[in-house]
Amino acid sequence: METDDGPRVIRSSEVDVTGEPGSLDRYLLEGAASGGALAVVEHVLAPKVLAAPMHLHTREDEYSYVLAGTLGVIDNGVEVTAGAGDVVVKPRGHWHTFWNAGDDELHVLEIIVPGGIEQLFRRLAEPGGEYDPETLPALAAEYGAEVDFEATMPLVERHGLAF
């Protein structure tokens, strides 16, 4: 990240957005712009929407800062909820996922250390990038991640989530 010329402001109008209403990602700072140090992505989810299947990362830690709404998280089998101003730590190597556990739109600032896996989010948002139990495991593996659809479905059923 260049700092020789003073601070850089990333304007809202400069931020890429992927997804569709109900499940959007706003790429505020990507790994390439931080020398790979971190990425910052805002996830916006409608009520009762699951963000991803159960998965783990081998390269990144994630820190979810709740801006608005209620975040549901399962991490290594433990379920928690978090509200505005709370931070949920999801270390690398932990099986986890998250969802909107409330009745209002959820806004979560995802801080990813180091950056890079946000490119997987982009690829999944491309046409044909839908979550597919046949193709997603190989794609996730390119980013040092694993997915588990079988472990996801009980969570979906338990909380009545859209997936």
Read off the CATH number of the domain in which 58 is found: 2.60.120.10
Say if CB 72 and CB 155 are below 8 A apart. no
Residue 126 lies in a domain: no
Per-residue model confidence (pLDDT) at position 126: 83
Total count of domains within the chain: 1
Tokens read off for 118:
């946000």
Residue 41 lies in a domain: yes
Q: Report d(CA 42, CA 53) in Å as an integer.
A: 18
pTM for this one? 0.92
Q: Tell me if residue 14 falls in helix, strand or coil.
A: helix
Per-residue model confidence (pLDDT) at position 57: 95
Per-residue model confidence (pLDDT) at position 13: 92
Residue 67 lies in a domain: yes
Residue 3 lies in a domain: no
Max Cα distance, the chain (Å): 52
Residue 62 lies in a domain: yes
Mean pLDDT by 10 residues, the chain (163 residues): 75 92 95 96 98 96 98 97 98 98 98 96 80 86 95 96 92
Identity of residue 10: I
Residue 30 lies in a domain: yes
Residue 158 lies in a domain: no
Domain of residue 43 covers 21-115+131-152
Q: Does the CA dihedral 24-154-75-142 come out positive or negative?
A: negative
